A and B are shown apart, each in its own frame.
Chain A
Amino acid sequence: MATLAKKQPGARHISPGKKSTVRSSSGSMPSRIRGSRGGSSAASGPAGTASRKRRRGSTGTALRSQGGWYKRGKLSKAAFRAAYALGQASARELKQEQQEGGRQQLLKNGSQISQTMNAAFSKSRAGRRDASFSAILREGAAFRNGFMDAWGEGLAMTPYVLLPLRGTAAAVVTVCNEEDSIRQVLHELKLLPLTDIIVVINGCTDHSFKYTMEFEGVTVIHEPEALGLDVGRALGAKLTKADTVLFVDGDFPVSAWQLAPFLLAVDQGVDVALNDVTPYLGAFKYWDAVSRVKQFLNCSLDRPDLVTNSMTCIPHALSRRALDTIGESTLAVPPKAQAAALAAPLKVQASASINVFMKNRRRNQNVGSGNPVARLIIGDHIEALKSIQRKQGSRLSFADRVRRRSQAGG
């Protein structure tokens, strides 16, 4: 799996046309930056031959089942060079404006750099037909490299992920004693063009709060008592008015590159962009009760294609329309939010595939069949189904075309 572990921050990127020297490393070395497992080729360096080589060696089972949502959009050398050149041109233009206007230091801090580059990139892509997400990401990388090269001094190479978003985007992170991983999580989020990063620190007795406050541009909600992941997400969602809200957890760093598809999908019209965990489930007979009830909910609401994908799993992203329809309070019970989204109906689909199963910590409460956490989740699903049945009838999508139920009194 390709990682950036070998690259030092501040090192120059690799110019277009040259072969990449980043090689696949063994999976056992944990990457400081790319903490995710599986998923797409993680590097945000230049596209072209390098990434194609890396992909062949990668372990991500997700890539094998990409389906339609994550087409292997190839970026031709010409397109790459064009994007790079656009980046350079943008940088020169901005620098000139700065000099003419006499403005002091246009790009003072990380957020400004990211915002400026992203705005320039969005402008350069304005009015263009939507390409695959993968192509957009690679173009963004090329543009960024060109921009940073042309800007020159004072701009350390940081792998910002540029996205041509039409609306604003925010992220909500729930944290309960995650000092080991929170810095990585926030580092990755800072690479994305987000207007708001809201961290819900609840019931933390470790250094999570201190580490979070070290990041600039982050809104921190502090709750002395532990709220639980779901309530934390609902609370975080209330504090932002962004058009897209991405939900992640503080204990599982996911690379910015992998989170980008969620933002792009919602920006392009999807209401609920879910994580596709189907490739990691295995055979049905080995599924646990929670997975089965998730699938049952999706099938009952006429979406068997989603399999077990649901808002109970992070990461996922919601549009402003989804938040208004579902209501932030309902997010506190994810199965209900899922049911509300499917029943509305909102545009719900899987936008990326990240293996989150490795990360779930084994605690006394959530192993073994019939464990309390599982019972709670299953109970929530049952309640969710009941509330939809009240409105849509008890059969939901399983219409009975055989029996004359009216004659049988039911």
Chain B
Amino acid sequence: MQLTSIVIPTYNKLPLLQQAVAAIRTYTRMDETPYEIVVADNGSQDGTVEWCRQEGLRFVALPYNAGFPVACNKGMRMASGDFFLLLNNDVTVTNNWLPNLHRALASDSRIGIVGPVSNFVSGKQQVECSFRTMEEFQQLAASVNVPDSRKWEETERLVGFCLLFSRAFYQQIGELDECFSPGHYEDDDLCFRARKMGYRLLFCRDVLIHHIGSASFKNQDTAGLQELLQRNRKLFMEKWQIDPHIYI
């Protein structure tokens, strides 16, 4: 069975990371989908690194906040798995999440990347959920995450909060473009490159996971965030002469 490397870039917000790792450990079975966790720490100052060491996790501690794409890339270079699962630190995974994603990825050799649906994400992957507590959400997800290939949908863009692809794909398409540092639109860029090379992208309605959303970027002032989004969107357009918004 092939190993999945779950790469989690993180910047402060240790409680979120702890929850993310705890959920992975609870809802991922080593015998079903062998995995390893690789944390890419962007110079956190809140004890993240010490906690990772105590937990015996593999990680790379960068000396300063190098942004999302750089951290992901370094994590992937460290990873030893045959598959990469990029996961944000504010994501809580659910029952059956990884086997269902793998099933979708393996269903066709032309599929490059697969992603889940979630309560909070931009674009087509957003679904309506009603729940009050995380326990309720997990119960909801358990009922939703029943493997069903009819629930898979083709798409032109997947959000970078949870992406699964193979090492072969990574070797052909390459890593995330670091020009988008500190973040945003590197996922659009990766998806665009994948489709240019003839790969298909799927998102799975039978994989519902929880996402808080923009945990790192919300801290910045809204004006700063808007400026970053505009700058990166412009970078994408300069690179490809296409507006990434047409794919959302």
A222 with B77: in contact, given A209-B53, A213-B49 (CB under 8 Å)?
Answer: no
Question: A138-150 toward B: CB 8 Å interface, digit per residue (1/0)?
Answer: 0000000000000
Question: A206-249 toward B: CB 8 Å interface, digit per residue (1/0)?
Answer: 00010001001111111110000000000100110000000000
Assess whether A221 is in contact with B53, with CB atoms less than 8 Å apart.
no
Nearest Cβ distance between residue A228 and chain B, in whole angstroms? Answer: 15
The residues of A that contact B63 with a CB separation of less than 8 Å are 216-219
Q: Could you say which of A217, A222, A224 contacts B60, with CB atoms under 8 Å apart?
A: A222
A222 with B62: in contact, given A235-B78, A238-B78, A239-B74 (CB under 8 Å)?
Answer: no
Assess whether A222 is in contact with B74, with CB atoms less than 8 Å apart.
no
For the complex, is B3 an interface residue (Cβ under 8 Å from A)? no
Nearest Cβ distance between residue B60 and chain A, in whole angstroms? Answer: 5
Contacting A at CB under 8 A, from B82-138, are: none
Nearest Cβ distance between residue A303 and chain B, in whole angstroms? Answer: 31
> How far, in angstroms, from A213 to B51 measured CA to CA in the complex?
14
For the complex, is B180 an interface residue (Cβ under 8 Å from A)? no
The residues of A that contact B57 with a CB separation of less than 8 Å are 222, 224
The residues of A that contact B60 with a CB separation of less than 8 Å are 219-222, 239
Nearest Cβ distance between residue B12 and chain A, in whole angstroms? Answer: 16
Instruction: Specify the chain B residue showing the minimal Cβ separation from A235.
Output: B78
Majority SS of interface residues in chain A? Answer: mixed
Assess whether B77 is in contact with A219, with CB atoms less than 8 Å apart.
no
Assess whether B78 is in contact with A221, with CB atoms less than 8 Å apart.
yes
The residues of B that contact A238 with a CB separation of less than 8 Å are 77-78
> How far, in angstroms, from A4 to B198 measured CA to CA in the complex?
62
The residues of B that contact A223 with a CB separation of less than 8 Å are 58
Majority SS of interface residues in chain B? Answer: mixed
* Residue picked from B56, B62, B77, most chain A C-beta under 10 Å: B77
A220 with B61: in contact, given A209-B53, A213-B49 (CB under 8 Å)?
Answer: yes
Instruction: Specify the chain A residue showing the minimal Cβ separation from B63.
Output: A217
Contacting B at CB under 8 A, from A184-200, are: none
A213 with B61: in contact, given A222-B52, A222-B53, A224-B56 (CB under 8 Å)?
Answer: yes
A239 with B78: in contact, given A216-B63, A220-B61 (CB under 8 Å)?
Answer: yes
For the complex, is B161 an interface residue (Cβ under 8 Å from A)? no
For the complex, is B68 an interface residue (Cβ under 8 Å from A)? no
> How far, in angstroms, from A220 to B74 measured CA to CA in the complex?
11
> How far, in angstroms, from A218 to B62 measured CA to CA in the complex?
7
Nearest Cβ distance between residue B201 and chain A, in whole angstroms? Answer: 27
> How far, in angstroms, from A383 to B63 measured CA to CA in the complex?
39
For the complex, is B59 an interface residue (Cβ under 8 Å from A)? yes
Q: Could you say which of A222, A224, A235 contacts B61, with CB atoms under 8 Å apart?
A: A222
> How far, in angstroms, from A29 to B68 measured CA to CA in the complex?
48
The residues of B that contact A216 with a CB separation of less than 8 Å are 63
> How far, in angstroms, from A221 to B58 measured CA to CA in the complex?
8
Q: Could you say which of B52, B53, B56, B62 contacts A219, with CB atoms under 8 Å apart?
A: B62
The residues of A that contact B61 with a CB separation of less than 8 Å are 213, 219-222
> How far, in angstroms, from A216 to B45 measured CA to CA in the complex?
12
> How far, in angstroms, from A217 to B56 measured CA to CA in the complex?
23
The residues of A that contact B56 with a CB separation of less than 8 Å are 224
> How far, in angstroms, from A106 to B46 measured CA to CA in the complex?
28
Question: B44-81 toward A: CB 8 Å interface, digit per residue (1/0)?
Answer: 00000100110011111111100000000010011000
Q: Could you say which of A213, A217, A224 contacts B58, with CB atoms under 8 Å apart?
A: A224
Assess whether A239 is in contact with B77, with CB atoms less than 8 Å apart.
yes
The residues of A that contact B49 with a CB separation of less than 8 Å are 213, 220, 222
> How far, in angstroms, from A222 to B59 measured CA to CA in the complex?
5
Nearest Cβ distance between residue B76 and chain A, in whole angstroms? Answer: 10
Instruction: Specify the chain A residue showing the minimal Cβ separation from B56.
Output: A224
Nearest Cβ distance between residue A176 and chain B, in whole angstroms? Answer: 15
Instruction: Specify the chain A residue showing the minimal Cβ separation from B39.
Output: A222
Nearest Cβ distance between residue A5 and chain B, in whole angstroms? Answer: 30
A-B contact pairs, 11 of them (CB 8 A): A213-B49, A217-B63, A220-B49, A220-B60, A221-B60, A222-B49, A222-B53, A222-B59, A223-B58, A238-B77, A239-B74
List the interface of chain B (C-beta within 8 A of A): 49, 52-53, 56-64, 74, 77-78
Q: A209-B53, A213-B61, A238-B77 are in contact. List 8 more A-B contacts (CB 8 A).
A: A218-B63, A219-B61, A221-B60, A221-B78, A222-B53, A222-B61, A235-B78, A239-B74
The 7 A-B pairs at the shortest CB distance, nearest first, are namely A220-B61, A224-B56, A238-B77, A217-B63, A221-B60, A222-B59, A239-B77
